[in-house]
Structure 1
Amino acid sequence: MFQQNAFVTFLHKNRWALWLLILLVILLWGYAWVFMKLSLNYMGPFTFSAFRFGVGAVTMLLVIWLSRTGLPPRHQWKHFIVVGILQTTIVYLLIMYGLRFVDAGKSSVLLYSMPMWSSLFAARFLGEKLTPAKLTGLLTGLVGLLTILGWDIWTNQSMDILTGELLIIVGAISWGIANVYYRRNLRDASQLQVNTWQMTFGAIGIIIAAFVTESGEPLVLNVTSISYILFTGVLASALCFTAWFVVLSLIDMVTATISTLLVPVFGLFFSSIILGEHLSTGILIGSGLIIIGIIIAQTSKSRRT
């Protein structure tokens, strides 16, 4: 615990190190989309997610054990289960299935429309006011989504791709619901415990889904596929989320949320360079509108604060 507090103090005193940590987390999250897409060459989408979050959950449980954090109060367990199902099980089952048909870069943009859905649900269930600036940002982001989807429709895109895109958007909506549920029921809980236990329960749901639907499908475990699992499970899931919770304790939520908009930007960049994915005009325009819309909504919140 002393080393952890010393690290937080170091980041607090050295802002360059804090922003370097933020950039590292965003880069790892952006690059993870490449491995998520490539993993489908070795196993089914649910099987990969089961390995990824199984490894991530074990890593987080080790962190909890080594830090002597202890168990959370009994009344919080049901909330961990709900958040785990919404934020890990549903989101990543839909994402990985959608990735079978949708490019990795486009998928990252669609998923990170999540702040728009969070704002809508927060206005409905948390009583947060939907200001004109916030509404403008949300509408701009929705136009961006329709631009990405609409462009595909007008270019005679296959039904599989459109279905995959819609599944990823539903995943983003589920993530937004999870955020609102977390704020209503687990806002005062330890963020380390929230991440550990929601990931654990979410991984259990994914493992069950993988066993039921993909138990007989081919599975190739070699150095390459295992490296994908370890990168996304240990680095992109367990360690990055833990580091992100440290970041959230040192900077305001608005700045953090806007920073995450770089994830789909890097996702598009890495997917284009490494996977050779084509960045169409519709994807670029739609991505830009989504990012602009979220910035408008979040910046208006920053001014009020």
Structure 2
Amino acid sequence: MSSTALSRRNALLLLGVVVLAWGFTWVVSKLLLQHMTPIWAVAARSMTGTIALLALGLALRRVAWPVKADIPVILSVGLLHMGAFAALVSLGLQYVPAGRSVVLAYTTPLWVIPAAWLFLGEPIGRGRQWGLALGVAGLAVIFNPLAFDWSHQDALLGNGLILLAALCWAINIVYVRAHRWVTPPFELAFWQALLASIVLSGVAFAAEGKPVFTWSADLVWLLGYGGVFGIAVAYWAAVNVNRSLPAGVTAIGLLGVPVFGLLCSAVILHEPLNGSLLAGMGLIIAGIAAGVVERRA
């Protein structure tokens, strides 16, 4: 695709592609755990995505050698988002339903607001204050301390891992906001995914030993979808959407990811949709939207 911005209609269509691709990826990630150990699952998906990103970049003639100024953002995205976030989510998915996980992971913008205020000097206006309050209220509804089974160690561990993943993503977002770009983001995606694949493979080998799995049609399509659509296509589409639509429109549109992910989990994985989860998700999404609308204004 050319470097010119897309028409609004095409950009909105691509935003829909991102929402569908990333939303369904949570179901794919949960299903992958039936075939592979958690860290090897994300390492294999990352390797598939790396190959797909290279092929897509070559086809679009958008692969560039990174320069010295690109190294910090390659490290940030590759290690924190594509690496730590993905690994922690996969570990958490062993104990937490996919629908609940996607809602918890998308609390990331709530952690970005105070971090951006602390490290970047971004003001926290009334809209963001309301956003934080609504988001925290949403978490309180989901984790209702009076109803939560605090003796369930696996549940505590799984939810904690997902929230830690959200924190890693938030740290990465704050750094990316402060980064002065030299090479365009998509041109660096291959190198970020390659770094994540190398690190994840090393961690998986150290923590889980040699990969043990049996090739099957299900495993092939899960890895194919997770790598090609969940990483390569979604990343390419997101970069084009970010370039063509206002940041507020993009951020609010991406709130569709946890909604679609939750619905897919209910339909495909038959996960229950209880009232506290739906209410908490509604409060969290409202909180994120409140902060985004103020920033856009």
Please, which moves more after superposition, 180-189 or 239-248? 180-189
The equivalent residue for 1:44 is 37
Q: Count residues with an aligned counterpart.
A: 295
CA distance in 2, matches of 1:68, 1:225: 30
Contact between 2:93 and 2:101, CA under 8 Å: does it hold in 1?
yes
CA distance in 1, matches of 2:180, 2:195: 15
Please, which moves more after superposition, 224-233 or 64-73? 64-73
Contact between 1:258 and 1:298, CA under 8 Å: does it hold in 2?
yes
| Percent identity of equivalent pairs | 31
Classify 1:182/1:155 alpha carbon distance in 2 versus 1 (closer, same or farther; 3 Å): closer
1:179 aligns with 2:173: yes
Q: What amino acid is aligned across from residue 146 of structure 1 in structure 2?
A: A
Q: Residues 11-69 of structure 1, C-alpha deviation per residue, up to 9 Å, x if partnerless?
A: 41xx3333222112211211111111111111111111011111111222233344054
Tell me the secondary structure at the aligned position of residue 2 of structure 2.
helix
CA distance in 1, matches of 2:95, 2:196: 24
The equivalent residue for 1:124 is 118
Q: Residues 112-139 of structure 1, C-alpha deviation per residue, up to 9 Å, x if partnerless?
A: 1111111221111111001122111012
Contact between 2:56 and 2:232, CA under 8 Å: does it hold in 1?
no
Q: Residues 170-208 of structure 1, C-alpha deviation per residue, up to 9 Å, x if partnerless?
A: 111110100111122244531112322222212211111
5+ residue gaps, structure 2, are: none
Name the structure where helix makes up a greater proportion of residues: 1
Within a 5 Å distance, the mapping from 1:231-242 to structure 2 comes to 231-242=225-236
The equivalent residue for 2:272 is 278
The equivalent residue for 1:56 is 49
Structure 1 runs of 4+ off > 4 angstroms?
A: none
Q: What amino acid is aligned across from residue 226 of structure 1 in structure 2?
A: V
CA distance in 2, matches of 1:210, 1:36: 16
Classify 1:79/1:24 alpha carbon distance in 2 versus 1 (closer, same or farther; 3 Å): closer
1:293 aligns with 2:290: no
The equivalent residue for 1:109 is 103
The equivalent residue for 2:243 is 249
Q: What amino acid is aligned across from residue 121 of structure 1 in structure 2?
A: A
The equivalent residue for 1:5 is 2
Contact between 2:130 and 2:290, CA under 8 Å: does it hold in 1?
yes
CA distance in 2, matches of 1:202, 1:167: 19
CA distance in 2, matches of 1:269, 1:212: 36
CA distance in 2, matches of 1:266, 1:82: 28
Q: What amino acid is aligned across from residue 62 of structure 1 in structure 2?
A: A
Q: TM-score, normalised by structure 2?
A: 0.94
CA distance in 2, matches of 1:188, 1:180: 17
5+ residue gaps, structure 1, are: none
How far has the Cα of 1:83 moved from its partner?
A: 2.6
Tell me the secondary structure at the aligned position of residue 215 of structure 2.
coil
The equivalent residue for 1:221 is 215
CA distance in 2, matches of 1:301, 1:185: 19
CA distance in 1, matches of 2:188, 2:277: 34
CA distance in 2, matches of 1:120, 1:200: 31
The equivalent residue for 1:266 is 260
Contact between 2:54 and 2:63, CA under 8 Å: does it hold in 1?
no
1:90 aligns with 2:87: no
Please, which moves more after superposition, 211-220 or 251-260? 211-220
Classify 1:192/1:292 alpha carbon distance in 2 versus 1 (closer, same or farther; 3 Å): same
CA distance in 2, matches of 1:210, 1:203: 10
The equivalent residue for 2:28 is 35
Q: What amino acid is aligned across from residue 136 of structure 1 in structure 2?
A: W
Tell me the secondary structure at the aligned position of residue 273 of structure 2.
coil
Tell me the secondary structure at the aligned position of residue 143 of structure 2.
helix
